[in-house]
């Protein structure tokens, strides 16, 4: 099939949130598409969509609807035909897509690790008892309280720049960000220390950019095929199958990381009580083509170990 390529007068519309990190991810997508199809960058238009998650900054995500808060308005514009593709941070994406949309293109994955950010300490171990830590992530909160129950955790939402201002204002002594975001924003000057996944297993799909398009848009599918990173897709297949089987959301402290070794995918996983009082972990390996089945089974094994009351704190 011969693709009808976009032009500066009829550009390909790339939907994104408006945060500096979201824009950096959209610009990376545009640059890769431009290079892959030998087109000028002005043949692609970046369209900023303000989402509910961006508008409401004073409440925890679980109180206002969870992960879909960062995607719903963008997906509505995509379904309406006012966008050609949408660029997302994969760790923000629900495991179910709206009918009519496909999420099957991934850019090469960045650093998966969390970053510890503090002007007063280089690591979690250095924090004095009672130190106030800011995070909006239930996973990071649960993992931190599991390792350091003597610390205090406060809600800490906003983009990188907002969180750094909160640190400077003394709202908390330290916080966490994703290394991937810092790298994409070229923020090497921040006092950031990477945290080994053995100590703090990252969120499912952390560090990965996903690109969504309409299922019936063959032009978008053909253009995206040229920039899809197969290895990232194979890793996320296992991780997101694990997440889906756990009914994962922003109300659930879940961590998971898949890594490839030749034709094998290895998946490490963890689920926690929200207060950090208990953490269960497991790992499995399988042939890459069996990654989704393995992820699902690993989730079932963890749930069987956890018992019926492990997630009893969840709001239904």
CA angle 295, 199, 289 (to 5 degrees): 20
- Which of 211, 207, 105, 127 has the alpha carbon at shortest distance from 172? 127
Lowest mean pLDDT among 186-200, 227-241, 282-296: 186-200
Which residue would you say has higher pLDDT here, 126 or 165? Answer: 126
Q: Same CATH fold, 114-195 and 12-107+208-228?
A: yes
Residues with active-site annotation: 92
- Section 187-211 average pLDDT: 95
Task: Give the domain ranges of the chain.
Answer: 12-107+208-228, 114-195, 240-306
pLDDT for position 193:
95
3-state secondary structure of 227: coil
Diameter of the chain by CA atoms? Answer: 63
d(CA 264, CA 288): 5
pLDDT at 71: 86
Q: What are phi and psi of 100, to 5 degrees?
A: 100, -10
Count Cα atoms within 13 angstroms, Cβ side, for 43. 15
Give me the count of residues in the chain. Answer: 316
Nearest to 118 by CA among 82, 146, 92, 144: 144
- φ, ψ (nearest 5 deg) of residue 256: -165, 140
pLDDT per residue as tens digits for the range 16-70? 999 999 999 999 999 999 999 999 999 999 999 987 655 555 455 555 455 566 7
What CATH topology corresponds to 240-306?
Double Stranded RNA Binding Domain (3.30.160)
Bridging pattern class, strands 85-89 and 12-16: parallel
What average pLDDT does this structure show over 137-161? 91
What per-residue confidence (pLDDT) applies to 314? 47
CATH superfamily, region 114-195:
Periplasmic binding protein-like II (3.40.190.10)
Q: How is residue 275 annotated by DSSP?
A: T
Separation between Cα atoms, residue 137 and residue 164, nearest integer Å: 16
> What sign does the dihedral 304-307-309-313 (CA atoms) show?
negative
Model confidence at 252, in pLDDT bands (50, 70, 90)? confident
Residue 114 pairs in a beta bridge with 178, 195
Assigned superfamily of 12-107+208-228:
Periplasmic binding protein-like II (3.40.190.10)
Phi, psi (5° rounding) for residue 202?
-75, 170
Q: Give the pLDDT of residue 301.
A: 95
pLDDT in tens, 63-107: 545 556 678 899 999 999 999 999 999 998 988 889 999 999 999
Query: DSSP per residue over 258-315, as a string?
Result: EEEETTEEEEEEEEE-TTSS-EEEEEEEEEGGGHHHHHHHHHHHHHHHH-TTTTTT--
Structure-token pair, residue 117? 């950010």
Estimate to the nearest angstrom the gap between the alpha carbon of 298 and the chain centroid. Answer: 20
Question: Structure tokens of 93?
Answer: 């994406």
Give backbone dihedrals phi and psi of 122, rounded to 5 degrees, phi first.
-100, -15
pLDDT of 292 higher than 70:
yes
Which residues contact residue 255 at a Cβ distance below 8 angstroms, ignoring those fewer than 6 apart? 139, 143, 200, 201, 202, 203, 204, 269, 270, 271, 272
Give percent of the chain with pLDDT exceeding 70: 91
HSE-up of residue 275 (Cα within 13 Å, Cβ side): 5
Nearest to 213, CA basis, from 17, 65, 12: 12
User: pLDDT at residue 224 above 70?
Assistant: yes
Q: pLDDT of 104-138, one tens digit each?
A: 999 999 999 999 999 889 999 999 999 999 998 99
Mapped onto helix, strand or coil, the DSSP state of residue 277 is: coil
């Amino acid at each position: 099939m011969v693709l009808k390529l976009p032009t500066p007068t009829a550009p390909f519309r790339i939907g994104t949130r408006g945060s500096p990190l979201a824009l950096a991810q959209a610009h990376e997508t545009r640059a890769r598409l431009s290079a892959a199809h030998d087109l000028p960058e002005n043949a692609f238009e970046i369209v900023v969509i303000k989402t509910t998650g961006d508008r409401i900054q004073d409440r925890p995500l679980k109180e206002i609807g969870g992960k879909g808060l960062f995607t719903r308005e963008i997906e509505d514009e995509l379904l309406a035909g006012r966008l050609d593709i949408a660029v997302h941070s994969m760790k923000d994406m629900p495991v179910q897509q709206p009918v009519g949309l496909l999420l099957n293109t991934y850019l090469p994955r960045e650093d998966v690790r969390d970053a510890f950010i503090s002007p007063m300490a280089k690591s979690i171990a250095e924090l004095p008892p009672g130190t106030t830590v800011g995070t909006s992530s239930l996973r990071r909160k649960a993992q931190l309280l599991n390792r350091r129950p003597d610390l205090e955790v406060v809600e800490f939402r906003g983009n990188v720049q907002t969180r750094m201002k909160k640190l400077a204002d003394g709202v908390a002594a330290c916080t966490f960000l994703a290394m991937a975001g810092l790298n994409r924003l070229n923020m090497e000057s921040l006092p950031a220390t990477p945290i080994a996944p053995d100590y703090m297993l990252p969120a499912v799909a952390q560090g990965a950019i996903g690109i969504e398009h309409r299922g019936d848009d063959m032009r978008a599918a053909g253009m995206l095929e040229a920039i899809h990173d197969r290895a990232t897709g194979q890793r996320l297949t296992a991780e997101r199958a694990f997440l889906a089987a756990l009914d994962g959301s922003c109300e659930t402290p879940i961590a998971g990381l898949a890594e490839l070794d030749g034709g094998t995918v290895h998946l490490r996983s963890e689920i926690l009580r929200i207060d950090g009082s208990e953490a269960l972990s497991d790992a499995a390996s399988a042939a890459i083509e069996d990654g989704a089945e393995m992820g699902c089974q690993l989730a079932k094994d963890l749930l069987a170990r956890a018992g019926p009351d492990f997630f009893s704190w969840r709001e239904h």
